[in-house]
């Protein structure tokens, strides 16, 4: 089973070198055949240069986009390139060490057990958050409660970016029809996978708030998240397939 670990970045020079080294160690120590794929939004702090400096020694590739155009857009560009290759599983994770690479094997094991999409949940039994600002905890809880109430999604954490996808998910979902360009992309992918009856599972993770660099999540991202959740729900109610289908 070949695995690609996808990491979107913007101004993550302080974290990306150590993260690539740690992911590589986890893959090697667990006998996982995998590579790392960084998608960088032309970071002015030199994130891409830091990645390039490791490419001769570590299993890492990079896509440099022209500008910062949103998390969802970055993931879509990355996923379109990755699924052209022969990877069986695509793992996505943040670049700031809030997602500990040690959970990668657990995500992959769930895929091997039959899941199509696995999320690393902060809110299921065994998961938790550490050192997170109160307002971010509140925002995250509100977003998850809202989506679970209106959309009946079968997991506890729809906003986490730490997840593993079986490649068939991307073969069935047309990424060009995924409308979200920002943070709400995470929720939309789960929604579409659930609608298409893919098996979704979760594993508990400990989410640690970043120690270096600045958070990229804004109130604009939050408002876009709630709006997109409503649009997806209305699409289901009125059977507007273009709003939510594959």
Q: Is 125 exposed, middle or buried (0-12, 13-18, 19+ CB in 10 A)?
A: exposed
Is 2-244 a domain of CATH 3.90.550.10?
yes
Lowest mean pLDDT among 11-15, 31-35, 229-233: 229-233
Q: What does the alpha-carbon distance between residue 224 and residue 10 come to, in Å, rounded to a whole number?
A: 20
What is the pLDDT of the chain when averaged over all its residues?
86
Geometric angle at alpha carbon 231, from 229 and 235, rounded to 5°: 120
Structure tokens at 152: 């009946």
The full DSSP string for the chain is -EEEEEEEESS-HHHHHHHHHHHHHHHHHTT-EEEEEEEE---TT-HHHHHHTTTTTSSEEEEE-SS---HHHHHHHHHHHHTTTT-SEEEE--SSSSS-GGGHHHHHHHHHTT-SEEEEESSSTT-EEES--HHHHHHHHHHHHHHHHHH--SSS-SS---EEEEHHHHHHS-GGG----STTHHHHHHHHHHHTT--EEEEE-EEE--SSS-----HHHHHHHHHHHHHHHHHHHTT-HHHH--
Structure tokens at 21: 């080294």
Q: Give the pLDDT score at 195.
A: 87
Paired with 117 in beta bridges are 165, 200
Give the rounded percent of residues in the chain with a pLDDT score beyond 90.
61
Tens of pLDDT, residue by residue over 180-234, are: 877 788 888 998 899 899 999 999 999 998 666 565 555 555 566 666 666 666 6
Lowest mean pLDDT among 51-60, 89-98, 202-211: 202-211
Nearest partner of 208 among 73, 93, 111, judged by Cα: 93
Rounded mean pLDDT, 162-180 = 92
pLDDT above 60 (res 241): no
Q: Give the pLDDT score at 158.
A: 87
Q: What does the alpha-carbon distance between residue 236 and residue 62 come to, in Å, rounded to a whole number?
A: 37
Structure tokens at 176: 């060009």
Q: Give the pLDDT score at 245.
A: 46
Domain ranges of the chain: 2-244
- Strand 163-166 relative to strand 117-121: parallel, antiparallel, unpaired? antiparallel
Rounded mean pLDDT, 21-42 = 98
């Amino acid at each position: 089973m070949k695995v690609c670990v996808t990491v979107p970045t913007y101004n993550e020079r302080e974290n990306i070198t150590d993260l690539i080294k740690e992911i590589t160690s986890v893959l090697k120590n667990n006998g996982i055949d995998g590579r790392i794929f960084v998608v960088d939004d032309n970071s002015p702090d030199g994130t891409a240069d830091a990645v390039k400096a490791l490419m001769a020694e570590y299993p890492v590739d990079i896509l440099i986009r022209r500008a910062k155009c949103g998390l969802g857009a970055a993931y879509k560009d990355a996923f379109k390139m990755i699924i052209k290759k022969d990877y069986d599983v695509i793992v996505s994770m943040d670049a700031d060490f809030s997602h500990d690479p040690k959970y990668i094997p657990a995500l992959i094991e769930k895929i091997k057990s039959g899941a199509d999409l696995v999320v690393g949940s902060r809110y299921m039994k065994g998961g938790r958050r550490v050192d997170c600002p109160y307002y971010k905890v509140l925002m995250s809880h509100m977003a998850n409660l809202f989506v679970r109430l209106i959309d009946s999604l079968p997991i506890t954490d729809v906003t986490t970016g730490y997840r593993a996808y079986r490649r068939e998910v991307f073969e069935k979902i047309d990424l060009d029809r995924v409308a979200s360009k920002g943070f709400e992309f995470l929720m939309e992918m789960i929604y579409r996978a659930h609608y298409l009856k893919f098996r979704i599972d979760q594993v508990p993770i400990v989410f640690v708030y970043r120690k270096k660099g600045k958070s990229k999540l804004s109130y604009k991202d939050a408002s876009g998240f709630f709006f997109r959740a409503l649009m997806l729900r209305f699409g289901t109610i009125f059977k507007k397939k273009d709003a939510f289908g594959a």
